[in-house]
Amino acid sequence: MIRLTEFLAFVAVAVALHLAVALWEPQDTGLTAAGDAGQAVISMQVSDAQLADMVERWETPPDLSAPVDAPDMPQVAATDPPPSPTAPSVDPMPRATATAPQGLALPAPESVPDASVTAPPPPPVAKPTPNTAKLADTRPRERPKRSTPPKPKAKADPARNPAAASTAQRAAGQGQGADAGNARASQATSLNAGQIQSLTAQWGAKLRRKVERRKRYPSAARGASGTVLVRLTVGRDGSLRGVALARSSGNAALDQAAVRAVQSAGRFPAAPKGLSKPSYSFTLPMQFNR
């Protein structure tokens, strides 16, 4: 800051000197002649060389590279940092040592059996006695021979045995009447359920075809259509045992026409052989369309 102030002062002086030189007018050197008053005046003038040297010194800028003495700063005494807070010391917990209560003795460790101890000798094997040796030798050495079935005896010639032939003829001649009925019953009972069901279905189809041939559309139905289920019971000989409506069509005229068709069919075909019940029931659907 001081150097800058001096530099500005020098510049101001140099400018003033330049102005003075520019405005200065040269006068006669030496002793001037006296004026009218007769006074002697002596004028003194600085030489041009000295003035130029002075101006050059003032115009030369100061050397700023010289170190500038820094003002002395007041020394501040260094203060020690405050001591860091110390953590409170904690006494370590005493380790709990397992102490056996007095009066109780700890169990002694089990002694490991010595591997060098030899195992007990195996029990002696009993020698086979003569009795057991004999029992072991009693097994059969040879396979038994297969027994051959006896040969069938030749049938006796009927011509040589007239008594047997006459007995057979007498049995055949007496197989009439009740014996014949028993034979048919045994034949019927020999059929299984599937065969009986098949025979019943075949017989029912024949009954339906005969009823359909007697079916007539009633005029009282007035164009109505529907299906009537008729339940009829037929004996094994083909006679009608009963007829009833299993499900109505919703039209009374159609229901009555279905019942009349069954009643007017007359005698139905007899049951096929193998059906031994006295009567069978069938449900026939009858459809009426105009």
Do the domain assignments include residue 274? yes
User: How many structural domains are present in the chain?
Assistant: 1
Do the domain assignments include residue 208? no
In the structure encoding, which two tokens stand for residue 90, read together? Answer: 């904690």
Q: Which of 195, 196, 208, 275 is nearest to 235 (CA)?
A: 275
Do the domain assignments include residue 228? yes
Q: What is the pLDDT of residues 30-62, one digit of tens each?
A: 444 444 444 444 455 545 677 777 777 777 766
Do the domain assignments include residue 31? no
User: Of 16-30, 63-77, 223-237, which has the strongest mean pLDDT?
Assistant: 223-237
Question: How far is it between the farthest Cα atoms of the chain?
Answer: 231
Q: Find where tokens 């051959």 sit.
A: 148
d(CA 161, CA 168): 11
Q: Find where tokens 């040879």 sit.
A: 142
Do the domain assignments include residue 263? yes
Please tell me the predicted confidence (pLDDT) of residue 80: 60
Do the domain assignments include residue 253? yes
The verdict on pTM exceeding 0.85 is: no
Do the domain assignments include residue 32? no
Do the domain assignments include residue 267? yes
Write out the residue range of the structural domain in which residue 283 sits. 217-290
For residue 283, give Cα distances in angstroms to 11, 233, 247: 148, 9, 10
